[in-house]
Every structure is written in C-alpha cells, then in structure tokens.
Structure 1
Amino acid sequence: MTETNSPTPFDGPVVTVVQHQDAVPLGRLADTLPGLRVQIVRPDAGDDLPAAADLEALIVLGGTMAATDSDTHPWLPAVRDLLADAVDQDVPTLAICLGAQLLALAGGGQVAVAAPSGPERGVVEVRMRPDAAQDPVLGPVMDALGRDVPAPSMHHDAVTVLPKSATWLASSLRYPFQAFRLRNALGVQFHPEADEDIMRQWARSEELDADELAAGYAQHGEALAMLAKELGASFAAQVRQRAA
C-alpha cells in the first residue's frame, strides 16, 4: 500500500485507489484530484482491502481481467463487495472500466464477457444523456466539453444490464452503457485516466497498431486533457463536500 500526497498545503480527505495491474495506473487523474491525498491499494500484490466504513472516497481502476474472473484473480469478489458496501454507505466512488463492470455487478446488473459488439478501442465519442447535466461529476464535464465527449476506450467486456436503481448517464455508438450512477458512485466504461503513452502501451500489449489506437490523441488532445481535469476536479469536489 502506497500513499501519494497531493500538492495542497493541508491534509485533505484520502481517496483509496484500488489498482489491479501495473499497466493500468491512475494516470492523468493522479494530477487532477485537488485537495485529496491518494492511497494506492494493490490487491494483486497481496494488499488487504479496507472496509467501506473506513473510506472517505474510493476509485476502482480497470484491468485486463474479466469482472467474473475470480478463479485466476481471487480478489475480485472482495472488490465487488467493497463497491456494494461503498454504495450502501454513500462513499463517493469512481469506478473505471473493469471497476464500472464490478460496480454494475455489485448493484445487481449484468456484464458480458467478450461482448458481441466486439472490442472498443482508441478514442471514441461518448454521448452524454440528459441526466448527465445534473450529475455532480459528469455535469462539469458537459459544461466544459458539451454533449459529445471524446474519450479513451479499451475493453472487450461490457455492462449489458444496469442495476435497477442506476441512472443511465452516457452511451457510445457501440455500447450503450458508458456511464451510470448508483447513489454516490459513478461508473464509467471509458478511461479518462489514459494518456497517449498508456494507450500505446495497451496497444502493444495486445499486439495492436499503436499508431492507429493513439491517432485520436492528436485530433482531440486538448479535449482529452480537459476530460481528465474536469472529471477529477468534480469528483474531488464531491469528496470534499462530503468530508465537510
């Protein structure tokens, strides 16, 4: 377990980040969480997960494993249970890609492994739905970037059924459930944290054309940086408001 102090001159709330793999880090979001201290938990390396009652905020990152792949990644059910408890206790939560799929399962939704629409890779267009305008995290993203937002994506599995109590917030042409909210928890299928270097690394790890997958960064570089900045800042504001 490691802790990274924010550049602020005071000790703010702690956001616990569950990271499943070296290759899927907090990335751009590490510098876009004003007023928060970041604590990294690595269950893949043997770190114990905290109890939801001890959390001030939670981020669950992505990974190459399936959300149901508990045989080879035995910590995943515990992460799913942690997300369920965090929702019940209204802990401000951001769940990304695999994290969003685990959040959907925690709330009673469904996830398809190797979803039939095929993989979604590179920079894609995510369309915000009307309810996103009032969302505490995605609302500021819409204010900055509008309804159609370019976003990094890299996934084979997908949420196919949202939890009954979820609010559907965004979609893409290939997959409908790009963002949803369960109380104080936001799940996003896309990767706001992935900069071009991370995307190229993912492409190489899957023996894909890195230039092709990273092409959208040249076209949408400013918007992609703004996505991470606004999403991180608005999530941090939600955490600080709850702490106050």
Structure 2
Amino acid sequence: MRITVIEHEADAGLGYLGRWLELPCDVVRPYRGEPVPEAAADGFVVLGGEAAAWEDERWPWLPATRELLRRSVADATPTLAVCLGAQLLTLACGGTVERGGNGLEAGVSELTALPQAASDPLFAGIAARPGPVPAVQYHGDAMTRLPDGAVPLMTGAQYPNQAYRLGPAAWAVQFHPEATPDIFASWTAATGLESAGRLDEQVRAAAPALESAWRPLAEAFTATIRAAARQRAGDLRTSDRG
C-alpha cells in the first residue's frame, strides 16, 4: 500500500505526516516539472502552498490536481487535503473559495469539533477530547461555501469552515496538522510578518499539544487506507470467483 502526495512547494512538505502515516509516500513535485498522475495510489494527500486555489496561470498544475481530487472523491480513494489542498478539493467539487474577509489566520488557533465529528472515522478521537483543540494556521483564503453533501466537522472563530468530510473517505482541513515548528518558521520568514517571532514561539510552545492532537488523526487516516485496500482486494476476489 502506498500514498500519492502532491507537494506544491519545497517549504510545505509532509512534516509530521511523514512520520505518522506509516505507509510509503510517493511525493509528486509539480513545481519541479513532475506531472500530476491520472490516478492516486491507495491513499491521496494534497498539501498546502502559497497559491490561491484558482490561480491556474501562475500554478499550471492546479487544474490536474483538482481533477485528481474530484476523481478520488468519486472513487472513494481515502484522501486528506490540507489548506490549499482543502481549497482545491472544495473548488473541484462545487464549493466556493475566496479571499478571506477576516484577514490572515496565522499561528495557533483553537478549533471546536462539531457534533458530526463524534462519529467520523478520522475525527472521533478529536471530538472526544474535552474543550477546544489547538491547530496551526497559515492562510488568507477561505472556504466560504462547502460542496453539496459535505459534512462539517470542525469550526473556528476567525473562519468557520475548518474541516469537513465529502463522501465516505475524503477529508478537507483548512489548518496544518503537518506543520512542525521549523516548517511554520520557514513560512513566516518567507513572508516577513512583523509578528513572526511571536507566532514562531507560539507554535514551538504548542508543539507537544499539537502532536498529541493530530497524530491520532494521521493514524486513523492510515487505518482508513488499509481498510479500503482490504475491501478492494476482497471485492476483486469475489469478482474473480463470479
């Protein structure tokens, strides 16, 4: 079993997810000229980046990424779309992404699980935790209308649409469960935020709580990929006998 990963830029890699997913990851780097594949492997992860989800002229691989996301939802390929990835998934499946009306959301925010998270395969553990959950943020665009049929899972004060599930096995998260303190610091350094030092320290201080919160989600995603692969193998055996 393998996971196809779309990485949009060198400073926005797998981070924590590279340690937590427990399956080999085939990282596709279209910014280096590598083509977006026509199909994902057993699982699919789309990471973040500075692009806006609609900036196809500047980032010419975005249409192919949106199409692969749309196909993965239709095929029930276990999919985790992070920040820009979540926005691409939203556009691909009929939702709306716009410049955020509440400005840049950066640093550590507190998110709240919504009622339907309690029965979600990835977010049930998050929902069982008492109180709000810390998450790393770095985005100026927002998912303002979710695709039809989306199940909202988490919300926040600055931007309400923080996580949702679409179909049985595709998840979009506006925040960055993968972002280590060093990855986050590379983003603030690149953009020259006046508050960079404070935000960097905020993320570094929250690192143990962030790992505690989001490692179980990554492990649950791995379990979902394995279960889907077993199901497909069983279906193939049944088909062969038929």
TM-score relative to the length of structure 1: 0.90
Deviations 1:166-209 (A, max 9, x none): 00111110101000111110000000000111111111111013
User: What is the number of equivalent residue pairs in this alignment?
Assistant: 228
Report the identity percentage. Answer: 41
Amino acid at match of 2:182: D
**Contact kept? 1:180, 1:187, Cα under 8 Å:** yes
CA distance in 2, matches of 1:77, 1:50: 12
Equivalent residues in 2 for 1:108-127 (5 A)?
A: 108-113=94-99, 115-127=100-112
Equivalent residues in 2 for 1:189-204 (5 A)?
A: 189-204=174-189
Query: Of 149, 156, 159, which residue of structure 2 is paired with 1:175?
Result: 159
2:227 — aligned with what? 241
Amino acid at match of 2:27: I
Name stretches of at least 5 consecutive residues in structure 1 with no aligned partner.
1-12
**Contact kept? 1:179, 1:189, Cα under 8 Å:** yes
Residue 112 of structure 1 and its aligned partner are, at CA, apart by 0.4
**Contact kept? 2:125, 2:216, Cα under 8 Å:** yes
CA distance in 2, matches of 1:180, 1:225: 20
Rg larger for: 2
Amino acid at match of 1:22: A
Residue aligned with 2:108, SS:
strand
Amino acid at match of 1:32: W
CA distance in 1, matches of 2:63, 2:113: 30
Residue aligned with 2:171, SS:
strand
Residue aligned with 1:59, SS:
strand
CA distance in 1, matches of 2:190, 2:48: 15
Residue aligned with 1:72, SS:
coil
CA distance in 2, matches of 1:129, 1:86: 25
Backbone CA RMSD of aligned residues: 1.3
Which of 228-237 and 65-74 deviates more?
228-237
Q: After TM superposition, which residue ranges in structure 1, 4 or more long, deviate above 3 angstroms?
A: none
Q: Label 1:111 to 1:88 Cα distance change in 2 as closer, same or farther (>3 A).
A: same
**Contact kept? 1:127, 1:148, Cα under 8 Å:** yes
Indicate whether 1:50 and 2:37 are aligned: yes
Residue 218 of structure 1 and its aligned partner are, at CA, apart by 4.8
1:4 — aligned with what? none
**Contact kept? 1:110, 1:162, Cα under 8 Å:** yes
Deviations 1:87-125 (A, max 9, x none): 000000000000000011111000002x11111000001
CA distance in 1, matches of 2:214, 2:5: 16
CA distance in 2, matches of 1:112, 1:74: 19
Amino acid at match of 2:37: P
Equivalent residues in 2 for 1:68-147 (5 A)?
A: 68-113=54-99, 115-143=100-128, 145-147=129-131
Amino acid at match of 2:6: V
CA distance in 1, matches of 2:80, 2:34: 20
CA distance in 1, matches of 2:141, 2:53: 8
CA distance in 1, matches of 2:27, 2:214: 19
Query: Of 8, 11, 19, which residue of structure 1 is paired with 2:7?
Result: 19
CA distance in 1, matches of 2:74, 2:216: 26
Deviations 1:140-184 (A, max 9, x none): 2333x4351100000000100001110011111010100011111
